[in-house]
């Protein structure tokens, strides 16, 4: 079995693959600091709760955008799961050629998404990840990572609303019944969700226009991606496990 780990700015998402089948997934917060023992024990408990025997894990791969958790996380994996993790970074084989001005600036999470999307759906393809930030990455038909757009995520925008304004409350991020809001909560929800839909559709259309890829595929992932994907015909596929699948594919490209 393969243990895949996606360390994001908000959550750490774990997945277990048996061959090409995703057996289970689970999460923990990445913003809270833990020791290697705390990581290790938590992972053992979550694996056990999901009917996975830690001794059955034969490999591990990690993509992380949060450097300060890596020392403890890797220590917990090595000590408690008894596997040496592969880290997505410089020198690792991905099958994707990065042709931006500074390839080293492209985060491992975006590379992993690109691999997953290109291998599963082909190119040209625009990959949307609705995470802490909302990212839009363009992969050509040759598997070249050629452009990327980064915007504030839905949660960042929502947090700015209720933290930087004295009278606006914290609200659930969901689509209200109508954009014609008549009270504060639905007013904020309308602005957040419909604003994100509008941004998403404009960026997709502009990428099509400037790249010339009028028939490119558009695939979305990320925690809040389903909300937006259901509200626009410009996104063809919502794939909640795209990042984990990208990790699995990269591991296979590098394991001897």
109 belongs to the catalytic site: yes
Q: Any residues with CB less than 8 A from the CB of 164 and at least 6 apart, and which?
A: none
Structure tokens at 61: 């791969």
Beta strand 86-87 with 97-98: parallel, antiparallel or unpaired? unpaired
| DSSP state for residue 101 in the 8-state scheme | S
| C-alpha to C-alpha distance for 94 and 234, rounded to whole angstroms | 27
Cis peptide bond N-terminal to 65, omega within 30: no
Residue from 173, 164, 132, 170 nearest 151 by CA:
132
Its sign, for the CA torsion 172, 175, 176, 179, is positive
- Residue 105, judged by CB atoms within 10 A of its CB (0-12, 13-18, 19+), counts as exposed
Q: Name the 3-class secondary structure at 112.
A: helix
| C-alpha to C-alpha distance for 51 and 39, rounded to whole angstroms | 18
Q: Check 6, 56, 109, 233 and give the catalytic one.
A: 109
Alpha-helical regions (H) of 50-168 = 70-76, 108-121, 154-164
H/E segment holding residue 13: strand 11-18
Which residues participate in catalysis according to the annotation? 109
């Amino acid at each position: 079995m393969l243990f895949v780990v996606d360390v994001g700015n908000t959550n750490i998402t774990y997945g277990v693959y048996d061959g090409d089948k995703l057996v289970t997934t689970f999460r923990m917060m990445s913003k809270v600091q833990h020791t290697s023992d705390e990581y290790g024990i938590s992972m053992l408990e979550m694996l056990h709760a999901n009917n996975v025997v830690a001794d059955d894990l034969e490999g591990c791969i990690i993509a992380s955008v949060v450097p300060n958790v890596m020392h403890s996380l890797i220590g917990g994996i090595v000590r408690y799961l008894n596997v040496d993790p592969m880290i997505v970074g410089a020198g690792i084989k991905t099958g994707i050629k990065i042709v931006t001005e500074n390839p080293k600036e492209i985060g491992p999470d975006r590379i992993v998404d690109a691999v997953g999307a290109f291998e599963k759906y082909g190119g040209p393809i625009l990959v949307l990840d609705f995470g802490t930030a909302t990212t839009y990455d363009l992969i050509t038909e040759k598997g070249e990572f050629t452009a990327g757009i980064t915007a504030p995520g839905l949660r960042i925008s929502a947090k700015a609303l209720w933290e930087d304004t004295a009278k606006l409350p914290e609200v659930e991020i969901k689509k209200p019944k109508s954009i014609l809001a008549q009270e504060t909560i639905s007013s904020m929800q309308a602005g957040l969700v419909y604003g994100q839909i509008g941004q998403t559709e404009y960026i997709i259309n502009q990428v099509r226009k400037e790249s010339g890829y009028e028939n490119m595929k558009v695939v979305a992932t990320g925690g809040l991606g389903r909300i937006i994907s259901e509200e626009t015909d410009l996104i063809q596929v919502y794939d909640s496990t795209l990042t984990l699948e990208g990790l699995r594919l990269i591991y296979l490209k590098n394991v001897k």
